[in-house]
Structure 1
Amino acid sequence: MDSRRAAPSLGIVASLLLVVLVAVPYFVVEETRLVGSYYGAGALTPWASALMALVAVIVFAAGRKGRTDPDTAAGAAVGLGVVTALVAVVWAVTVPADVPLQLTTDRPILGPLTSATVLEYHRWALAVVSVLPAAAAAWYAKALRLF
């Protein structure tokens, strides 16, 4: 396996997964206008993480295709990944536990999965997934022998 291609590919997938995960509450909450209060309840907003993740997709892709110097792309991806993770983790930690549960009902979504269950664990899933682009960027930098 060529780590110089696999690492940025993982970074692209992880970054897109983060963006999808930020959009999940809009499909789970019946009144989508309430999602703004959920995202505004923390110290920061995860939309900043989603925006940086979209930029990271471009950076990873440019480095993988050789359109940007791979060393530069890996360094930029590390910086974006770290900030993306910090923003998402700070948001997840500062959202009061009762806020996500106030937005949903026990409406079934998929099998035993309800909207309340999804939102109860959403912020922690977002925090965990936000670390993946940073990890992929670190792997990319290591594959390029930058450290």
Structure 2
Amino acid sequence: MDAERLAPTVGIVGALLLALTIAIPAVTVEAGDGQVAAYYAAGPVGISFVGMLALLETVVFLSGRQERTDPATAAGLAFVLSLSMLGVAALWSFSIDPTLLFSFDQQYSWLTYHRWSVVAAAFVTFVGGAWYARGVL
């Protein structure tokens, strides 16, 4: 098993999954009064920034995997970014106000589980980043 090829692939899949998971409510939920914006901004930091970092993480994994940058530098950056995204996603998911979470219409009840899927996708990215860093460093 080639960890220097498979680990970044796991990280890429996790990062793209994370960015997609974060974007789903913005695309699918039709709520008024800024509910979706409040959902994304909940907690001390909000989650939108993690979606942007996930796309950046994809570029980092790809550049390290294709050796367009030093693999050790890419692995270290991928690890730090994935750890940061996991931390922010966990902080965000635990700090969402339940009143906000349950204020959406009944058809959007899946949002109560959305935050955990964001954390799960961030964890997959973290596993890819840690595995890549361990394999390269």
TM-score normalised per structure 1: 0.86
Q: How many residues align?
A: 136
Q: Which residue of 2 aligns with 1:6?
A: 6
Deviations 1:52-75 (A, max 9, x none): 111110000000001011111000
Distance 2:53 2:47 in 1: 10
Structure 1 residue 26, shift from structure 2 partner = 2.1
> Following superposition, which runs of at least 4 residues in structure 1 exceed 4 angstroms of deviation?
none
| Contact 2:11-2:61 at 8 Å conserved across structures | yes
Q: Which residue of 2 aligns with 1:94?
A: 95
Structure 1 residue 34, shift from structure 2 partner = 2.4
Which runs of 5 or more residues in structure 1 are unaligned?
107-114
| Root mean square deviation, CA, Å | 1.4
TM-score normalised per structure 2: 0.92
| Contact 1:43-1:95 at 8 Å conserved across structures | no
Within a 5 Å distance, the mapping from 1:53-92 to structure 2 comes to: 53-92=54-93
Distance 1:98 1:2 in 2: 47
* Equivalent position amino acid for 2:60 in 1: V
| Contact 1:30-1:104 at 8 Å conserved across structures | no
- Percentage identity across paired residues of the two chains: 36
Structure 1 residue 31, shift from structure 2 partner = 2.4
Distance 1:3 1:124 in 2: 28
Q: Which residue of 1 aligns with 2:19?
A: 19
* Equivalent position amino acid for 2:9 in 1: S
Q: Is 2:112 the partner of 1:120?
A: yes
